[in-house]
Amino acid sequence: MNLEHVFLCGNPALDFAATLRARRSVRFEMFVSGDRLDAWYLESGIVDAVTPAGESDVERAVTVREAIYELVTARVAEEAFGRGALAVVNDAARRPPAAPQLTATGRWTDATQEEALSVVARNAVELLSGADVPLMKECGNPECTRVYIDRSRGRRRQWCGMDSCGNKLKAAAYRARKKQAQAVGAR
């Protein structure tokens, strides 16, 4: 599996939660180092620069990520939030966030690790208490555990992304139909 971060869930908090991939099978960790965490913050666009992450920053980010995932999956399942996960996310959201600045060339956001993580946690708070809650779905690919916001017409989207999961599922369904048709024709 590659180490590229993807942003297809429709909200930074959901994309952050998706950095532990395939939770029900091979569990692929994207935050294997401080550099990977830094890259996520930059690639997500929530900050333009971030102080380099140390091991404790990665541990804290993973703790917040897991709490966000727990809260998101509880909300999707229409279950009560866990108190521990609530405390973790609220503590991170309570910290000062990264503050964008206006420069001669435009907007620039320089952040510490704590400020960047606060932005992610605040996104989670807004998401889980906002109008997009009914639009959250888990990907239909059994191997994928991403939760995404379905803004498709009729809310019929079945997977987190066409390139990542949709094509795989469609191709597998096509092969299964073709195999079944051949089996019926051979009788």
pLDDT tens, residue order, the chain (187 aa) = 445 788 989 999 999 999 998 888 878 899 999 999 999 999 999 999 999 999 999 999 999 999 999 999 999 999 999 999 999 999 999 999 999 999 999 999 999 999 999 999 999 999 999 999 999 999 988 888 899 999 988 888 888 877 778 666 666 666 667 777 777 777 6
CATH number, position 163: 1.10.3300.10
Q: Decide if 6 is inside a domain.
A: no
CB atoms within 10 A of CB 74: 16
Q: Decide if 133 is inside a domain.
A: yes
**Do residues 140 and 159 touch, judged by C-beta distance below 8 A?**
yes
Q: Decide if 75 is inside a domain.
A: yes
Q: Which domain, by its residues, includes 67?
A: 12-185
Q: Decide if 1 is inside a domain.
A: no
Within the chain, where are the H helices?
12-17, 34-44, 55-76, 83-94, 113-128, 167-185
**Do residues 65 and 20 touch, judged by C-beta distance below 8 A?**
yes
Q: Which positions ≥6 away from 17 have C-beta within 8 Å? A: 9, 65, 68, 69, 72, 146, 147
Q: Decide if 5 is inside a domain.
A: no
**Do residues 92 and 117 touch, judged by C-beta distance below 8 A?**
yes
Provide the number of structural domains found in the chain: 1
